[in-house]
Amino acid sequence: MPIFDFLRGQFIDVIHWTDDTRDTMVYRFEREGHEIKYGAKLTVREGQAAVFVHEGQLADVFTPGLYMLETNNMPIMTSLQHWDHAFQSPFKSEIYFVNTNRFTNLKWGTKNPIMLRDPEFGPTRIRAFGTYTIKVDNPALFLTEIVGTDGEFTMDEISFQIRNIIVQEFSRAIAKSGIPVLDMAANTSEVGALIAKAIDPVIHAYGLALPELYIENISLPPAVEKALDARTSRGIAGNLDDHMKWKAAEAMGTGGAMDSAMGMGMGAAMGAGMAGQMGMGPWGAQPQQAAPAAAAPMAPPPPPVEHVWHIAENGATKGPFSKARMGRMATDGELTRETLVWTAGQDGWKPAGQVAELAQLFTVMPPPPPPPPAG
């Protein structure tokens, strides 16, 4: 075998790296025991940096471009000076390719609620989550501080630490900002800029930069959100007195399904009350005795409140029915002692026969007719 063929087999001619993943930050070029050839070509693509480590110490950093590795510019990287070792050089050099592109759409979020003092609500808690972008801006520092000798370093290996830093600085920035909770949604960009500015010095010491940080949502505890909804509802209702009048009128309209018997009963009660005031009895005008001049007129008592009843039948409810209507239903057999009934103020459904006001409807019913005479 010619000597030049032997040399060509002992060295690597081209050193480069093409990344087919989406999360590799650092890749160590595998030389498989070969030495770097004198005059070998080093290709560093856009979005990359090549870091040479010689005998455990960082030797040089190459930015994007094409380089010829020669004795003049890389004296410690060539093994041509070690002919006496038969190309088994004792000097070992490692080449690390660092991905300097941006890693986007990385997630962050608060694992536990953050306590803060809001000017309107007082002490409260909030949660937040969003995305961020990170990149390597100092390959040499990133390699020495974070990667070490890891042959393939991915984003997953550092994302947990970055998320912890973001949450920590978010807590500090949001507490110092003084922005009310209700205004945070309108100021997410300003809050994100505050957090990014606070985080940048921390991760810069790792050789990293945080170009972008976004806050997608800031949420309150469920109890506070419920209180906010109630406040919004009151604001929509407007004047509270007018709102209550409207609700009362609506409730009266809902009760319009009551049959005319109840209305007639109420009208009769009101008529009796008026007749009492006018000195009318049930049989017309009655002579009145002159009251002492010193006696003050007495107001009649208010008419008794008539209950209305609901009936439960086959899993459905019917009504409301007046007592007069309930009497007719008892006469027609539609209402029995076992029929479940309910009225306002009653503790749950009860059989009609156990309700004192309705039990009398069944006592006035005539007994069953006698059997026909024999023969």
CB 44 within 8 A of CB 67: yes
Which pLDDT band holds residue 215 (cuts at 50, 70, 90)? confident
140 is a domain residue: yes
Q: Are residues 76 and 108 in the same domain?
A: no
Q: What is the pLDDT of residues 19-28, one digit of tens each?
A: 888 889 999 8
Q: Are residues 194 and 141 in the same domain?
A: yes
Global pTM reads 0.53
Looking at residue 103, what is its pLDDT? 92
Looking at the structure of the chain, the number of domains it has is 3
Domain end position, chosen among 72, 99, 126: 99
Domain end position, chosen among 225, 240, 266: 225
255 is a domain residue: no
How far apart (Å, rounded) are the C-alpha atoms in residues 220 and 126? 5
Looking at residue 101, what is its pLDDT? 92
Looking at residue 270, what is its pLDDT? 55
Looking at residue 100, what is its pLDDT? 92
Whether the CA torsion 343, 345, 350, 355 is positive or negative: it is negative
**Looking at the predicted structure, is the pLDDT value of residue 6 above 60?**
no
262 is a domain residue: no
Specify the 3-state DSSP secondary structure of 95: strand
- DSSP-derived secondary structure for 239-270: SHHHHHHHHHHHHHHHGGGS-HHHHHHHHHHH
How far apart (Å, rounded) are the C-alpha atoms in residues 324 and 332? 13
Looking at residue 179, what is its pLDDT? 80
Token match 């081209």: residue? 14
Which pLDDT band holds residue 137 (cuts at 50, 70, 90)? very high
The per-residue pLDDT of the chain, averaged, comes to 75
**Residue 334, domain CATH:** 3.30.1490
Q: Are residues 113 and 209 in the same domain?
A: yes
**Looking at the predicted structure, is the pLDDT value of residue 205 above 60?**
yes
Q: Which residues of 261-274 are buried (b: 16+ CB within 10 A; e: fewer)?
A: bbeebeeeeeeeee
Q: Which domain holds residue 187?
A: 103-225
239 compared with 200, residue with greater pLDDT? 200
**Residue 112, domain CATH:** 3.30.479.30
Q: Are residues 34 and 73 in the same domain?
A: yes
3 compared with 311, residue with greater pLDDT? 311
Residues 313-320: what's their mean pLDDT? 84
168 is a domain residue: yes
Looking at residue 125, what is its pLDDT? 85
How far apart (Å, rounded) are the C-alpha atoms in residues 305 and 122? 48
Domain end position, chosen among 99, 124, 152: 99
Q: Are residues 118 and 220 in the same domain?
A: yes
How far apart (Å, rounded) are the C-alpha atoms in residues 343 and 350? 10
How far apart (Å, rounded) are the C-alpha atoms in residues 96 and 115? 43
Looking at residue 98, what is its pLDDT? 92
CB 110 within 8 A of CB 127: yes
Residues 346-368: what's their mean pLDDT? 78
245 is a domain residue: no
How far apart (Å, rounded) are the C-alpha atoms in residues 245 and 121? 31
Q: Of the ranges 92-101, 111-120, 240-249, which one carries the lowest mean pLDDT score?
A: 240-249
Looking at residue 139, what is its pLDDT? 92
Q: What is the pLDDT of residues 35-62, one digit of tens each?
A: 666 667 888 999 999 988 877 778 888 9
Which pLDDT band holds residue 207 (cuts at 50, 70, 90)? very high
Q: Are residues 126 and 217 in the same domain?
A: yes
